Amino acid sequence: EPACYDVVVIGSGGAGLAAAIQASDRDASVLIVEKMSTIGGNTIKASVGMNAAGTRFQKLKGIDDCKEKFYQESLKGGKGMNNPELLRSFVNNAPEAIEWLADRGIELNDITITGGMSIDRTHRPADRSAVGGFLISGLLRNVNQRDIDVMLDTDVTEILTENGAVSGLRVKNEENEILTIHTKSIVMASGGFSANQEMVVKYRPELKDFVTTNHKGATGSGIALLQSINAGTVDMGEIQIHPTVEQTTSYLISEAIRGGGAILVSQKGERFFNEMETRDKVSAAIIGLPEHYAYIVFDEQVRLNNKAADEYIGKGFVVSADSPRQLADKLGMDMHAFLATLERYNVFVEKQHDEDFGRQTALRHPIHEGPFYAIRIAPGVHHTMGGVTVNTNTEVLDVNKQVIPGAFAAGEVVGGIHGGNRIGGNAVADIIIFGTMAGRNAAYHAQRS
């Protein structure tokens, strides 16, 4: 007897868990299918936070923000390529998504900033830890409180349709058995394809041999599954490389470190770019250096402000020193150049004006409180902005822009929202905003048909 659910969610990252919880809260019976043996997808690695403009938590901190600014800055960061309707819906629904989480005990009430934004609007946990682990454990707690079934080590291999509408799935479980599941609504929340070298290189040959920050499951199989029922795709060649990736471990060094006041320094001991520019531009600047890498440099004040810094120190790739001199020495850098760089940057902080590179945000405090730290970084493949086409109701559109009944999608598997470059903090916002919307609409569809 085949299993039967109102809604089946494919993928257990942020988008999938949010969709499952919301569908369950609308009285749907829900199954989550995850091909890996753990919950959390790539979301569990998310570092900096969740962007939203005009939230209660911003108001509590006296931060005056508006949706239009958030929209315009995301559009500019995306090189103007973002789908305007999706981006508008994203911006409009962001504060509600912050409250949706808070209502479920997942409060993101501390706020920082990311590259390309002019205002502190990146919401993160009160203890300033990385957002991913906090988010996934909170969502999982909510999944467990509800009657939501989860199948791990189970790969969706086929989407079944009847008269063009979704009618079920075929999955392969951990025993390699092929099972059929009946459902009228699926939510594809299978993430991006950054970990699929072949697929990345197909669209962007120059990214061959780049490391990736992503978990192994980011293979893009959800895109192929939806394409097999005629879904359209958009922006497939738009692949983001993140500027600050530790290369021996592929560990992403959070933008919160720069947002907390860190700078980037070349092997010559010099700053070379506005650290708070968007990811595409900062990455290009690092690749443009003769050595193709740089150091992210910060002091004790930055460390105290970011829990992730201690995690990096624990990983063993942070060079620390009691003085800037000693740090330069350990990095094999020209000491005079490095000292002059710090001194000059500290004057810019004092004046709140970066004469050299026009950094306008996160000139938080002078870098002068020991110990001093450096991490050697270079870019790595981080986010695939392209994916399947959807409308503003998270319904998957076919190659002719027609709705495929019963197919919903949310999260990194979807293309168009982030245009040519995703802003840091906009992926977590994306998965919660559109994950909850997909869950709600999928439940409604199942109950109506």
Which residues are the active-site residues? 279
Q: Give me the least distance between CB of 199 and ligand ADP, in Å please.
A: 13
Please report how close the Cβ of residue 194 comes to ligand ADP at its closest, in angstroms. Answer: 9
Stretch that binds ligand ADP, among 33-41, 258-266, 362-370, 380-388 (CB under 6 A): 33-41
Least gap, CB of 334 to ligand ADP (angstroms): 42
Amino acid at 47: S
**In angstroms, rounded to a whole number, what is the distance separating the alpha carbons of residues 301 and 161?**
57
What CA–CA distance (Å, rounded) separates 11 from 434?
A: 14
- Taking the complex as a whole, how short is the minimal distance between the CB of residue 382 and ligand ADP, in angstroms? 12
Q: Give the N- to C-terminal CA distance of the chain in Å, as an integer.
A: 22
Number of residues that bind ligand ADP (CB under 6 A): 26
- 14-22, 107-115, 159-167, 417-425 -> range binding ligand ADP (CB under 6 A): 14-22
308 binds ligand ADP (CB under 6 A): no
**Which residues, at least 6 apart from 152, have a Cβ–Cβ distance to it below 8 Å?**
12, 34, 36, 37, 38, 39, 174
Residue 35 found at the interface with ligand ADP (CB under 6 A): yes
Which residues have C-beta within 8 Å of that of residue 176, sequence separation ≥ 6? none
Tell which one of 22, 89, 196, 221 touches ligand ADP (CB under 6 A).
Answer: 221
Closest to ligand ADP by CB, 32 or 302: 32
C-beta separation of 32 from 17 below 8 A? yes
36 is an interface residue for ligand ADP by CB under 6 A: yes
Question: What's the CA gap between 27 and 298, in Å, rounded?
Answer: 49
Lay out the site mask for ligand ADP across 143-182 (x = CB under 6 A, - = otherwise). ------------xx--------------------------
Interaction of residue 425 with ligand ADP, rule CB under 6 A: no
Stretch that binds ligand ADP, among 31-39, 196-204, 288-296, 341-349 (CB under 6 A): 31-39
CA distance 361 to 352: 9
Q: Does residue 142 belong to the site contacting ligand ADP (CB under 6 A)?
A: no
Nearer to ligand ADP, 119 or 423 (CB): 423
Q: Which is nearer to ligand ADP, 114 or 341 (CB)?
A: 114
Among the listed residues 30, 200, 211, 218, the single contact to ligand ADP using CB under 6 A? 218
Out of 7, 9, 15, 374, the residue judged to bind ligand ADP by CB under 6 A? 15
252 near 45, Cβ under 8 Å?
yes
- Please say whether the beta carbons of 7 and 23 come within 8 A: yes
Compute the least distance from the CB of residue 355 to ligand ADP, in Å. 39
CA distance to 78, 113, 377, 380, per residue, from 284 (Å): 15, 21, 13, 11
Token match 């697929």: residue? 199
CA angle 150, 156, 159 (to 5 degrees): 120
β-bridge partners, 180: 170
Residues that bind ligand ADP (CB under 6 A): 10-16, 33-36, 41-43, 155-156, 189-191, 217-218, 221-222, 411-412, 431
